[in-house]
Amino acid sequence: MTAQSAAPHRVAIVGGGFGGLYATRELSRSAGVEVTLVDRRNFHLFQPLLYQVATGALAPGEIAQPLRSIFRKRLNVTVLLGEAEAIDVGARRIVLSDGGPIDYDTLIVATGAQFSYFGHDDWARFAPGLKSIDDATDIRRRILIAFEAAEREADPERRAEWMTFVVVGGGPTGVELAGALGEIANDTLKRDFRAINPGDARILLVEAMDRVLPTYPEDRSASARRQLERLGVTVRTTTPVVAIDDRSVEVKVGETVERIPARTVLWAAGVRVSGFAHAVAEATGAPTDKACRLIVGPDLAVPGHPEILVIGDAAVEPWKEGRPVPGVAQGAIQGGRYAGKTILRRLRGEPTPPFMYRDLGDVAVIGRLAGVTNIPWLGRFGRTGGFIAWLLWLGIHISYLIGFANRIVVTVRWAWSFFTHGRSSRLITGQPLLPPIEEPEPPA
Amino acid sequence: MTAQSAAPHRVAIVGGGFGGLYATRELSRSAGVEVTLVDRRNFHLFQPLLYQVATGALAPGEIAQPLRSIFRKRLNVTVLLGEAEAIDVGARRIVLSDGGPIDYDTLIVATGAQFSYFGHDDWARFAPGLKSIDDATDIRRRILIAFEAAEREADPERRAEWMTFVVVGGGPTGVELAGALGEIANDTLKRDFRAINPGDARILLVEAMDRVLPTYPEDRSASARRQLERLGVTVRTTTPVVAIDDRSVEVKVGETVERIPARTVLWAAGVRVSGFAHAVAEATGAPTDKACRLIVGPDLAVPGHPEILVIGDAAVEPWKEGRPVPGVAQGAIQGGRYAGKTILRRLRGEPTPPFMYRDLGDVAVIGRLAGVTNIPWLGRFGRTGGFIAWLLWLGIHISYLIGFANRIVVTVRWAWSFFTHGRSSRLITGQPLLPPIEEPEPPA
């Protein structure tokens, strides 16, 4: 009886989004591995539905699930609330912002991405992006406050400023936000006010490229545009933003600059990785693209560091013909599963095949009963629009939601909203009274 | 055809809690009245369930309903988001904090109450009270952060500080909070942590008087105490608090002062009216009690000002044998209905009977499957405890919830929690990482 079991292989996973979640799941079934999952938040967030929180259709808790409760029965998984800040590549150790060190044998970086203001970080306070629950409740507050302020504003010009909403960025988030705004103005709030008609709201979707949904086929972009216009959204492509302040957006039209007075500007453009991924890139000398994403090898490892895997939006992962994996939930989910499997294969001494992304396609919803899909493996049947797209979207999102109670509750909410044309989560929390961008922040 | 309809009677209602809501409902059915309902928040809050948000059982949106959507079909009701600040009694006009004036023929003051720190307002930042949605999410964050911090703390003494929770005040809110904390520690989080056992948490309920639920009959207080102790809560009566700081509570035991190290202190004691009710008292010279509540006549009007009615927690309303109406939802609901009816009766030239409060009884829930009731009109059957009380509480609260979708969703959530022992709304929002009371606020 001299056989002795080896010490378990320690895996540190930074980030509890789709990538980190699915990597942890994959590893949590193996006794030979000990996983430490670190996140700044105590919950996994179902980001594809975040815009529904921002527009009052769902409540924050309905699209989030505590990481601890997801993994409570997996005793080889430790969940830590903390922010990874630094890495010592030689010692194989990461350091949290409060000093706590975590030693690893393999590290999975799954820190995701934030929106980038293209060097204009001062725009952030006028035009919040939509990445976290707090962003979503902040944006919800701004949208609802704008209608409240318009209701109380007698001056027609200032009222029009409150009634103008600009969404910057024509990717899926921007399209879904603009569609939801169109629905709010024309349907949800229709009868709620006395002095204003919410249907008079001007909603603009501004995109620097020549079409919305630029990663979709061209005919899907055209379909999305038509459906947005049907909801009263003005779509302006080839229109880059050059300035934002608390009362307006300036865009470039050809050679001239046009000022659009608007009190509510929402940002859904650009991508930038977060701090810890930067630290990893610096410490390993890994190549990055211009959004600072780490360029990884076919096994998702940092070149020269097989013990550091990068997945999801923090990485540029090779796919077929050198095209990178798109920055969508499926990319992170498949990357997470692959990373987990790779670690287990290595421990068993098996060869590891390269990462193969399977493009399951994209679905975007546009307001009520409408949307577009682009599902390549369904051939021409994968290119739908309107009601069919909306139904597909519904089914996919409910089936991927974590937590069975959330699935029931979200289904009840959606069914309810559908029949009543209502949105049930229209609370203004935080400071309710002052328009949030009226007062400049104190100088730092 | 010389008959001419009189100008509508303008009613301003300040506060959209139970009192304001039911007064508005009563008046919204009469064409001869124009109602302006002013609230600092855009929603009606179902306050009796607020502690469930603070303890992660329900999400904020599930116990709140936008005032606009409640009254969207009542075209004689205008809802304004604003804070009433001043009153000109002679001109019959109130002024909002942003300057907007509202003229009234009858004013209903329904501004409710806040917790009072008995002159120690500096305690508020160490021991938050539970009155608003933002309070509830703040308290939820503090409770969850405490367990997270304990999980990461190696020093046993500091860990014990994080694992100690003190609830100040043994009224219904304090009892329900302490019961929910007991359930969280012993049931909900049981298997979620690796370094700590949440069941080791110390939960203290501290009350200055000689029993909990002092407005209930004595045997109900004793029953509540037993049920709390069964959940692991230490109940300390005749124990007034004399000091609170960021790491401890000091209580007076006989002649000595005892220091209880604790990182999480929740406040559920004392009552104080809000600013606008003060302004009304000053402007009218109305008598007030020591909590600054306005003492009103049998028709709920301020003495000498029949056009100003005060309802709910902002008022001391006479009841039988001079006893005041208790500060519970039913008091505000019945006061609101009475105030609405009184205005309509006056317009019709009918006599107005005095306000008669009907005591429907009290129900408090204590953790899972337990509670106490005191329902006088059911005779001795109205004095229940344990499971029966819990079932009664469930039925009453679901039936009073505003909004049918909320009723379904809350029922689903409760059923789900019941069978899974889970709490679905355990999100730490706001600043997730720093213990909130570590840093003193900058001097004002």
Find the mean pLDDT for residues A173-194: 88
Q: What's the pLDDT at B436?
A: 36
Per the annotation, the verdict on B176 as an active-site residue is: yes
- Computed from CA positions of residues B295, B297, B299, B304, in that sequence, does the dihedral angle turn out positive or negative? negative
The predicted complex's ipTM stands at: 0.71
CB atoms within 10 A of CB A316: 18
For A274, the token pair is: 């977060």
Give the bridge partners for A233, in sequence order: A203
Q: What's the pLDDT at B63?
A: 84
**Residues 6 or more apart whose Cβ sits within 8 Å of residue A115:** A129, A130, A131, A267, A268, A269, A270, A271, A272
Task: Tell me the pLDDT band of A423, cut-offs 50, 70 and 90.
Answer: low
Q: Which of A62, A161, A176, A183 is catalytic?
A: A176
Phi first, then psi: what are they for B129, rounded to 5°?
Answer: -90, 170
Find the mean pLDDT for residues B81-91: 94
Q: What's the pLDDT at B419?
A: 64
* pLDDT more than 70, % of chain B: 88
Contacts of A133 in chain B (CB under 8 A): 427, 429
pLDDT at A268 > cutoff 60: yes
CA A194 to chain centre: 36
pLDDT at B109 > cutoff 60: yes
Residues B427, A82: C-beta atoms closer than 8 Å: no
pLDDT at B404 > cutoff 70: no
CA distance A339 to B301: 71
pLDDT at A8 > cutoff 50: yes
Give residue-wise pLDDT tens across range B272-283.
Answer: 888 899 999 999
Q: Identify how many contiguous H helices and E strands chain B contains and give both numbers.
A: 11, 24
Q: Number of A:B CB contacts under 8 A?
A: 146
CA distance A269 to B380: 66
pTM recorded for the entire structure: 0.79
Give residue-wise pLDDT tens across range A314-368.
Answer: 998 877 666 778 888 889 999 999 999 999 999 999 999 999 888 888 888 787 6
Give residue-wise pLDDT tens across range A85-125.
Answer: 999 999 999 999 877 899 999 999 999 988 889 889 899 98
Instruction: List the beta strands (DSSP E) in A22-148.
Output: 33-39, 43-45, 64-66, 77-81, 84-88, 93-96, 101-103, 106-109, 113-114
Contacts of A134 in chain B (CB under 8 A): 429-430
Max mean pLDDT range (A363-372, A415-424, B27-36): B27-36
CB atoms within 10 A of CB B303: 14
Closest CA to A140 of A421, A438, A424, A439: A424
CA distance B328 to B313: 8
Find the mean pLDDT for residues B64-84: 89
pLDDT at A414 > cutoff 50: yes
Vertex A223 angle, CA A219 and A228, to 5°: 145
Give residue-wise pLDDT tens across range B137-176.
Answer: 888 889 988 998 999 888 999 999 999 999 999 998 899 9
Closest CA to A436 of A50, A126, A115, A124: A126
What value does the mean pLDDT of chain B take?
86
Q: Which helix (H) or strand (E) holds A22?
A: helix A18-27
Closest CA to B212 of B185, B187, B177, B245: B177
Residues B100, A416: C-beta atoms closer than 8 Å: no
Q: What's the pLDDT at A322?
A: 66
For B306, the token pair is: 């029949």
pLDDT at B133 > cutoff 90: no
pLDDT: is B173 or A309 the higher one?
A: A309
Give residue-wise pLDDT tens across range B185-234.
Answer: 888 888 888 889 999 999 999 999 999 998 888 988 999 999 999 999 99
Range name among A13-17, B160-164, B180-184 with the lowest pLDDT average: B180-184
Q: Is A433 an interface residue toward B (CB < 8 Å)?
A: yes
In residues, how long is chain A? Answer: 444
Find the mean pLDDT for residues A249-274: 92
Find the mean pLDDT for residues B294-309: 95
Closest partner CB to B60 (pick from A408, A413, A429): A429
Contacts of A425 in chain B (CB under 8 A): 61
pLDDT at A284 > cutoff 70: yes
CB atoms within 10 A of CB B256: 7
Contacts of A101 in chain B (CB under 8 A): none
- Whether the CB-CB separation of B159 and B37 falls below 8 Å is answered with no
A128-157 residues touching B, CB cutoff 8 A: 133-134, 137, 144-145, 148, 151-152
Q: Is B366 exposed, middle or buried (0-12, 13-18, 19+ CB in 10 A)?
A: buried
DSSP state of B382: G
pLDDT at B323 > cutoff 80: no
**Three-state DSSP class for residue A371:** strand
Instruction: Tell which phi-psi region holds residue A338, choosing left (phi > 0), alpha (psi between -120 and 50) or beta.
Output: alpha
pLDDT at A32 > cutoff 80: yes
* Interface test mutation site (partner B, options A75, A96, A408, A409, max chain B beta carbons within 10 A): A409
Contacts of B43 in chain A (CB under 8 A): 426-428
Residues B43, A432: C-beta atoms closer than 8 Å: no
Q: Which helix (H) or strand (E) holds B383?
A: none
Give residue-wise pLDDT tens across range A151-162.
Answer: 888 899 999 999
Q: What's the pLDDT at A436?
A: 36
Q: What's the pLDDT at A433?
A: 45
Give residue-wise pLDDT tens across range B339-387.
Answer: 999 999 999 999 999 998 888 878 887 876 677 878 777 777 777 777 7
Residues B427, A66: C-beta atoms closer than 8 Å: yes
Q: What's the pLDDT at B380?
A: 74
Q: What's the pLDDT at A5?
A: 57
How far B144 CA sits from the closest chain A CA (Å)? 9
pLDDT at A430 > cutoff 80: no
Nearest chain B residue to A149, by CA: B81
B53-72 residues touching A, CB cutoff 8 A: 59-62, 64, 66, 68-69, 72
Nearest chain B residue to A412, by CA: B409
Q: What's the pLDDT at A440?
A: 36
Contacts of B98 in chain A (CB under 8 A): 152, 433
DSSP state of B167: E
Residues A78, B137: C-beta atoms closer than 8 Å: no
Give residue-wise pLDDT tens across range B32-49.
Answer: 999 999 999 989 998 888
- Whether the CB-CB separation of B196 and B297 falls below 8 Å is answered with no
Task: Tell me the pLDDT band of B240, cut-offs 50, 70 and 90.
Answer: very high
What value does the mean pLDDT of chain A take?
86
Pairing between β-strand A264-267 and β-strand A164-168 as defined by DSSP bridges: parallel
A77-96 residues touching B, CB cutoff 8 A: 78, 80-83
For B426, the token pair is: 């355990």
Q: What's the pLDDT at B437?
A: 34
Find the mean pLDDT for residues A388-400: 77
Nearest chain B residue to A191, by CA: B72
